[in-house]
């Protein structure tokens, strides 16, 4: 079992692909929240044993999808027992616009981690934002609190800009290093 | 039909009571989101005709309940047609602590209104925050972007501090005045 | 005297250029906060008489520049007397990355307007975020709560993407229409 | 020299007193930002050597005081060199209302830490929010992302509720434990 678990909801497959790239970099286990906002019962044990939990959700109407929020509300049972106290947490989100209120989602994911008494791992990468910047660069959107990925509104799962996926993998590697250091 | 509609989710009845007090002050119609995050189909017509929409939800795990978020995600159909463009919006939330991340919920409710191209009505009341302040005062929690209500974790629906309910009614009155002025 | 006042701070001239384009669309008066965070004394009278106040600042280190914050702190004198109660407000920000925590600045500008008892005018434009989107489009960054402009870190004042400037002008026009409607 | 540094601005002495209590619990060094938003030049060396940096500021007009923001803007020199990458960070704020937009300040302090590539230590305490809760309790305001302290608007420095000061000391102890674990 991995020390790192990525728990995510994906509406149309884009967020799943980002989760997979992040998990590859982190050597992490993936837990998918289903379309009804539920997890298999065993997933809660996996989360309990994790050293680091990474939250992922698409940004819809300015915040994480309701399915992800249903998972977060269900985690209140864990909250009552301080079951995730002092775990490490990180987060990512995907939406169609470059900015597009992704920061609102990430600010809340940080708050969720803090409600659970956690430590939050930032993206930790300088932005690529000169005139020559391309969407194949690492952190070309300029994220800080977590990973931001843009998938244009008419982009298929195979058309997510490579820079977003590469940033996911690099962030996964960072999360693994921090997890190792903190253990 | 009223020009003002209060659309809310309530988990245990406290947020409903706040909604009722606000609606009394505003002479507004109430629309309740059910435990599965759904509204009756007719509710979308009511919302379409409203001049002003007031959002209300409890704060769970640092944000609006998933049922309210499911409503917000469903409103993306309206978003595509800019159907709520230039409506007036306002918001409120209830939770067990005086502060307790209620501001995160309100920041997102403002973002939701902005996604729809709306105008946001602030609470518009100076706080009552001297040493002599009591929880029967108006705006004793110090809200600004919207209405904050605290219901202690073991308080029944009949034990919500009166100041919270009175602030709800007063905010309703303010919303009605602004709605009239903007019409 | 115009009903609409744009009060802004600009560190290197980019935010000033955005302010000028917005002011052109809104037929607004411009008030520049200086490098020490101060306004001429007469500016406070201009603000007092305005129907609509538009806040503008660069995003530095994840929030509005300290000079803009100094102006906001100075506005606490007005706050004590509820002097800006029920005015209309809007906001914009500029930074080097497409996303880059601009949303944090705008969330606070909304909060500042709410502290003053105001109404907040959202950007009110659908995003341009398909695969074919260009940085000459309106709202190509996907803003909602206010205007987002990106000026790459090595872009001169004359190299701000045209879409950002055009969005500023269009937002100004929207602000003028709402101001007229609300009067 | 301590591994933990508390860098703060205090307008009227209340935030200083909170900083002192937190520093006692953490066995931390205190660095005071002056009324012009400046630090002594040696302070930047102290910050460079710290393992953990705690940010503290009053909330004025919905965000940290401009003096604290001036310090944050000055830290952009460190940002360019990633000088604070992977440090631990935490934050606190004080204002006159129980809620009162303190969360906006803390959300930004987290963002500032993330811009620097840091890890964020949450408050990590369950709230005291039953009907029997008193302002001498730990975390009676219900903070999560950081420490919230209320000093009523007419309270002298000696009249800050004891629970706020005790929570500061307890948070300091937590920060020291996490710092030791991460070293």
Q: What CATH number is associated with residue C17? A: 3.40.50.360
Q: What is the DSSP string of C103-149?
A: HHHHHHHHHHHHHTT-EEE--------STT--TTSTTTT--SSSEEE
Instruction: For residue C126, count CB atoms less than 10 angstroms from its CB and return exposed for 0-12, middle for 13-18, buried for 19 or more.
Output: middle
Q: At what angle do helices A162-182 and A14-26 cross, to 10 degrees?
A: 40
Interface residue C24 vs chain D (CB under 8 A): no
User: Smallest Cβ distance to A97: which of C62, C107, C142?
Assistant: C142
Residue among C128, C137, C49 nearest C87 (CA)? C49
Which of D73, D79, D101 shows the shortest C-beta gap to C111?
D101
Measured between CB atoms, does B37 come within 8 Å of chain A?
yes
Which helix (H) or strand (E) segment is C34 a member of? Answer: none
Average pLDDT for residues C172-178, to the nearest whole number?
98
Of C133, C145, C152, the CB nearest to A130: C152
Percent over 70 (pLDDT), chain A: 99
B130: domain range?
4-181
A156 phi/psi in degrees, rounded to 5 = -70, 170
Rounded CA separation B92/B105 (Å): 9
Q: Inform me whether the C-beta atom of residue A97 falls under 8 Å from chain C C-beta atoms.
A: yes
- Check CB contact under 8 Å for C62 and D37: no
Q: What confidence tens digit (pLDDT) does each residue in D144-167 have? A: 999 999 999 999 999 999 999 999
Taking the model in full, what pTM does it have?
A: 0.98
Per-residue confidence (pLDDT) for residue C1, from 0 to 100: 63
For chain C, positions 141-170, list CB contacts with chain B under 8 A: 144-146
Judged by CB atoms closer than 8 Å, whether chains meet at B124 and C85 is answered as yes
Q: Give the minimum alpha-carbon distance from D36 to chain B in angstroms, rounded to a whole number.
A: 28
Question: Which pLDDT does position C112 carry in this prediction?
Answer: 98
**Cβ <8 Å between D66 and C61:** no
Give the best residue of C51, C120, C139 to mutate against chain B (max B CB count within 10 A).
C120
Q: What's the distance, CA D96 to chain centroid?
A: 16
pLDDT of residue D54: 98
Question: What is the rounded distance in angstroms from the CA atom of residue A54 to the CA atom of residue A30?
Answer: 10
The arithmetic mean of pLDDT across residues A39-67, rounded, is: 98
Say which residues have a Cβ less than 8 Å from residue B50's Cβ, sequence separation at least 6: B2, B3, B4, B5, B29, B87
| pLDDT at residue B48 in the model | 98
- Taking CB atoms and an 8 Å limit, are D99 and B99 in contact across chains? yes
Average pLDDT for D170-175: 98
Choosing among B109, B129, B141, B158, which should be mutated to test the D contact, i.e. which has the most D CBs within 10 A? B129
**How many C-beta atoms lie closer than 10 Å to residue C130's C-beta?**
12
Cβ-defined contact of B86 to C124 (cutoff 8 Å): yes
Gap between the terminal Cα atoms of chain B: 15
Closest alpha carbon within chain D to B106: D101
Candidate from A56-65, D1-10, D62-71 with smallest mean pLDDT? D1-10
| C120 band by pLDDT with thresholds 50, 70 and 90 | very high
Give the DSSP per-residue string, A138-175.
TTTT--SSSEEEE--TT--GGGS-HHHHHHHHHHHHHH
Distances (CA, A) of B146 to A10, B121, C107, D37, D53: 31, 8, 13, 31, 33
Provide, as residue numbers in chain C, all residues whose Cβ is less than 8 Å from the Cβ of B126.
Answer: 82
pLDDT tens digits, one per residue of C41-88: 999 999 999 999 999 999 999 999 999 999 999 999 999 999 999 999
The answer to whether B112 faces chain A, any CB pair under 8 Å, is: yes
Percent of chain A with pLDDT over 90: 98
Q: Which of D58, D99, D140 to mutate to test the interface with B (most CBs of B within 10 A)?
A: D99
Question: What pLDDT score does D106 carry?
Answer: 98
* Angle between the N-to-C axes of helices D14-26 and D162-182, in degrees from 0 to 180, rounded to the nearest 10: 40
- Tell me the pLDDT tens digit for each residue of A23-52: 999 999 999 999 999 999 999 999 999 999
pLDDT digits (tens, 9 = 90+) for B129-168: 999 999 999 999 999 999 999 999 999 999 999 999 999 9
Q: Is the ipTM, as predicted for this complex, more than 0.90?
A: yes
Task: Provide, as residue numbers in chain C, all residues whose Cβ is less than 8 Å from the Cβ of A102.
Answer: 99, 103
User: Is the confidence at residue D1, as pLDDT, over 70?
Assistant: no
Q: Which whole number is the average pLDDT over D24-43?
A: 98
Mean confidence (pLDDT) of chain D: 97
Q: Output the pLDDT for position C111.
A: 98
Which subunits count as partners of chain B given 3+ CB pairs below 8 Å?
Answer: A, C, D
C-alpha dist (Å) from residue A73 to A38, A66, A94, B61: 11, 10, 21, 6
Touching check for C86 and chain B: CB below 8 Å?
yes
Contact A103 C98 (CB under 8 A): no
Dist. CA D66–CA D166, nearest whole Å:
27
User: Which residues of chain D have a CB within 8 Å of the CB of A126?
Assistant: 82
Q: How many domains does chain D have?
A: 1
In angstroms, the Cα distances linking C47 to C30, C40, D147 are 10, 11, 35
Q: What's the average model confidence in pLDDT over C109-118?
A: 98
Whole-angstrom CA distances from A2 to A27, A59, A87, C97 are 7, 27, 14, 34
Chain A contact present for C103, CB below 8 A: yes
Does the beta-carbon distance from C122 to B117 stay under 8 Å?
yes
User: Any chain B CB within 8 A of the CB of A107?
Assistant: yes
Count other C-beta atoms under 10 Å from residue C46's C-beta.
17
Residues of A in contact with B9 (CB under 8 A): none
Per-residue confidence (pLDDT) for residue B182, from 0 to 100:
87
Beta carbons of D100 and B133 less than 8 Å apart: no
pLDDT value for A2: 81
Q: Helix, strand or coil for residue B91?
A: strand
Cβ contact (<8 Å) for B114 and C122? yes
The pLDDT score that the predictor gives to residue C2 is: 81
Residue C183 pLDDT:
78
Chain A residues touching residue C62 (CB < 8 angstroms)? 144
Q: How far is C50 from chain B (nearest CA, A)?
A: 17
């Amino acid at each position: 079992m991995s020390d790192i678990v990525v728990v995510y909801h994906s509406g149309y497959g884009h967020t799943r692909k980002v989760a997979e790239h992040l998990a590859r970099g982190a050597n992490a286990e993936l837990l998918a929240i289903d379309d009804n906002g539920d997890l298999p019962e065993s997933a809660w044990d996996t989360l309990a044993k994790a050293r680091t939990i990474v939250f992922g959700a698409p940004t819809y109407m300015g915040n994480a999808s309701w399915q992800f929020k249903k998972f977060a509300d269900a985690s209140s049972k864990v909250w009552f027992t301080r079951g995730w106290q002092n775990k490490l947490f990180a987060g990512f989100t995907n939406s169609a616009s470059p900015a597009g209120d992704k920061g609102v989602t990430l600010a809340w994911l940080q708050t969720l981690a803090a409600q659970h008494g956690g430590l939050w791992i930032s993206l930790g990468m300088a932005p690529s934002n000169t005139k020559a910047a391309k969407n194949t660069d690492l952190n070309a959107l300029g994220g800080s609190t977590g990973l931001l990925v843009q998938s244009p509104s008419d982009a298929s799962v195979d058309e997510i800009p490579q820079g977003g996926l590469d940033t996911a993998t690099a962030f996964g590697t960072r999360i693994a290093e921090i997890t190792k250091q903190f253990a």
